[in-house]
Amino acid sequence: MKRSYFSLFLLISLAACKDGDQEFDASGVFEADEVVISSEAVGKILRFEIEEGSSLKAGQVIGSVDCKNLSLQKAQVEASIDALGQKTNDAAPQTQILREQLTTQQRQIATQREQLRILERERKRLDNLVKAEAVPAKQLDDVEGQIDILKKQIETTESQLAVVTQQIKSQQQQVSIQNRGVLSERKPLEERIAQFDDQLQRCNITNPIEGTVLVKYAAADEMTATGKPLYKIANLSTLTLRAYITGDQLSKVKLNQSVKVFVDNGKDDYKEVSGTVIWIASKAEFTPKTIQTKDERANLVYATKIKVKNDGYLKIGMYGEVKL
């Protein structure tokens, strides 16, 4: 009988020693950066391929909203743009005759200049012969007269060439002004097309961040609207322990400080993980009712955030203890 009492006393003593060994400096609850993803389109949800607990990647398309009405509106605007293209004029057909005339005059000038070059060479030859009294001076005078006539013809042709060139330019400018009025209607339509493309892109439900679906708010075949929540997601690979310390402990805690974090691992047992202090509140607050501190009499505490890498064991809302 005495041995039984002794054994019971020993077990109680060991349990008391175990509990006494675990003196923690702070405690708190694990949380994650939860993001509520809302619809960016209005319509019927055609497909929504997620479930609570699903792991999603950033940029993953997980569903779509019926936006057939937007597609029809875009097609109408595209048809209007095509119609504008038929209203624009091309200056080429209108200036074709003038361009042909311009080409003829350019060839004529080239021929006249070649004739002038030949006559000037002949005048030089005759000038030498007249000086040598080998030919009459009248031959030289005849050539010089031909040269003067040819130069005037070239001047006339060049003047005509300038007129035709100006006529072509004027017609091109006139057509350009006419087209400018038509094309001014095109830009707003193109902007509307860009808006429709953006809205149609938003009809795809695209997950923005990597994480795990926590709550699903919608389902396929339901109607949705812009801003209506679809699901809640969080990256659970790293959790944050919001722990509270007293004013006396504040001097012992620094940013980027490594600390030991303990979570329940069965009855009277703890799992230890490492954490890093990433934030310390600048103002004190009243101790939350669900939080215990090292000094139970402390009414005011400072909140801290401790970043902890999650191997899958930690859960949102789980209680955690801290040793500084």
pTM, rounded to two decimals = 0.63
What is the spatial distance between Cα 67 and Cα 69, in angstroms, rounded to a whole number?
5
User: How much is the average pLDDT of 139-164?
Assistant: 89
Between 230 and 103, the more confident residue is 230
User: The tokens of 103 are what?
Assistant: 């080409």
Q: How confident is the model at residue 290 (pLDDT cuts 50, 70, 90)?
A: low
Q: pLDDT-based confidence at 321, cuts 50/70/90?
A: very high
Output the pLDDT for position 317: 94
**Most confidently modeled of 12-16, 167-171, 174-178?**
167-171
pLDDT digits (tens, 9 = 90+) for 33-62: 999 999 999 999 999 999 999 999 999 999
The highest-confidence range among 147-156, 173-182, 292-301, by mean pLDDT, is: 147-156
**Contact of 275 with 27, CB cutoff 8 Å:** no
Is the predicted pLDDT of residue 4 greater than 60, yes or no? no
The interaxial angle of helices 186-202 and 137-183, nearest 10 deg, is 40
Query: 204, 201, 200: which is closest to 64 by C-alpha?
Result: 204
- Give residue 8's pLDDT: 34
User: Within 13 Å, how many C-alpha atoms sit on residue 297's CB side?
Assistant: 1
Q: What percent of the chain has pLDDT over 70?
A: 86
| 168: CB partners within 8 A, 6+ apart | 95, 98, 99, 102
Contacts of 110 (CB under 8 A, 6+ apart): none
Mean pLDDT taken over the chain: 86
pLDDT of amino acid 26: 92
Q: Is 59 left (phi over 0), alpha (psi -120 to 50) or beta?
A: left
Which helix or strand (DSSP H or E) is residue 309 part of? Answer: strand 300-309
Residues in the chain: 324
Return the HEC string of 49-87. Answer: CCCCCCEECCCCEEEEECCHHHHHHHHHHHHHHHHHHHH
Q: Which of 97, 96, 108 is nearest to 156 (CA)?
A: 108
CB of 263 within 8 A of CB of 246? no
Half-sphere exposure of 242 (CA within 13 A, CB side): 14
Average pLDDT over residues 240-265: 94
User: Rounded CA gap, 235 and 209, in Å?
Assistant: 8
Q: Over 90: is that where the pLDDT of 63 sits?
A: yes
Beta carbons within 8 Å of 152's beta carbon, 6+ residues apart:
none
Q: Any idea which of 127-141, 274-288, 292-306 has the lowest mean pLDDT? A: 292-306
- Range from 96-105, 112-121, 284-293 carrying the lowest mean pLDDT: 284-293
Per DSSP, helices labelled H in 184-295 are 186-202
3-state DSSP assignment of residue 47: strand
- The 10s digit of each residue's pLDDT in 10-40 is 333 333 334 444 588 999 999 999 999 999 9
- pLDDT tens across 296-308, in order? 556 789 999 999 9
Q: How confident is the model at residue 273 (pLDDT cuts 50, 70, 90)?
A: very high
